[in-house]
């Protein structure tokens, strides 16, 4: 096995960001990719104008790429917020306002994976109250995802970069997945296995892959240290992805790395052309 046996998509919220948003799908297609994913592109609003949604949809369709993953509104990402659904007040309200907007946009493009990021802990708020709010909002998101034929993804971030996020390990993320599935009875909540974040947390990656591949709905990668392209750090990503495949995961592998000081299209020299979707 190896990279040529995987299906890779490119995250247009971290790669090709040297280009305007509407030009990125075509750039990914020109680099040979057949699929893309996105963080919520409008960080300032959970409910953009219909014209903005339609323009992005048209750009993706015109490029001939498939949208395979989309984040619900998550505040300023990248940035200090890194999630909204567990933050009382305006942020959780913005998340709720976004749920159907994001789900309907995903359906319009055949996207079948929606990622809902937990929020940071808030000073002066009982963590249990935040977790109760989070579960309520995750249930709402899971039902919306189910309505459009999608899975709901729950991701673990990493403690060094997100010290106020309570979901910073694979076991904790899977615990949340199980709670959502128990609450909804739908079974469509899945783990988003980001090998970069798990490595930053110091987790035993082969053990995590073996333990949670059957609950995984999407996989993302970047090398460590540096969150760069495979080969820029020390993670044995080719071997780890072989383990992911052997453990039964057959879905997309999202490229969620920083291209460094070169144009994004030059950062794929490690990847065989035939593996780009």
Residues annotated as catalytic (active site), given as ranges: 155, 256
To which residue do tokens 């599935």 refer?
181
What's the CA gap between 6 and 274, in Å, rounded? 9
Q: Collect all residues with Cβ–Cβ distance below 8 Å to 168 and sequence separation of at least 6.
A: 156, 157, 158, 159, 162, 197, 201
Token duo for residue 206: 């082969």
Q: Is 6 in contact with 275 (CB distance < 8 Å)? A: yes
- Joined together, the tokens standing for residue 70 give 């989309």
- Nearest by Cα to 197 from 234, 134, 155, 163: 155
Phi and psi of 254, rounded to 5°?
A: -85, 130
CA distance 249 to 247: 6
Say how many residues make up the chain.
277
């Amino acid at each position: 096995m190896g990279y040529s046996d995987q299906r890779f998509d490119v995250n247009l919220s971290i790669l090709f960001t040297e280009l305007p948003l509407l030009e990125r799908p075509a750039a990914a297609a020109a680099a040979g990719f057949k699929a893309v994913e996105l963080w919520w592109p409008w960080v300032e609003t959970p409910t953009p104008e219909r014209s903005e949604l339609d323009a992005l949809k048209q750009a993706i369709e015109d490029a001939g790429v498939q949208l395979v993953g989309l984040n619900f509104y998550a505040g300023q990402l990248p940035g200090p917020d890194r999630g909204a659904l567990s933050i009382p007040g305006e942020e959780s309200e913005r998340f709720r306002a976004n749920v159907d907007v994001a789900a309907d946009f995903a359906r319009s493009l055949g996207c079948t994976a929606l990622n809902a990021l937990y929020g940071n802990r808030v000073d002066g708020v009982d963590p249990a109250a935040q977790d109760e709010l989070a579960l309520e909002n995750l249930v709402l998101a899971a039902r919306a995802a189910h309505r459009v034929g999608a899975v709901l993804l729950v991701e673990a971030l990493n403690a060094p970069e997100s010290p106020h996020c309570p979901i910073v390990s694979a076991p904790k993320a899977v615990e949340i997945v199980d709670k959502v599935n128990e609450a909804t009875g739908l079974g469509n909540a899945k783990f988003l296995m980001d090998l970069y974040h798990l490595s930053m947390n110091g987790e035993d990656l082969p053990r995590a892959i073996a333990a949670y591949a059957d609950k995984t709905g999407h996989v993302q990668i970047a090398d460590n240290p540096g969150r760069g392209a495979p080969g820029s750090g020390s993670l044995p990503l080719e071997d780890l992805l072989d383990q992911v495949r052997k453990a039964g995961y057959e879905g997309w592998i999202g490229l969620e790395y920083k291209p460094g000081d070169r144009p994004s299209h030059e950062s794929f020299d490690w990847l065989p052309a035939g593996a780009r979707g």
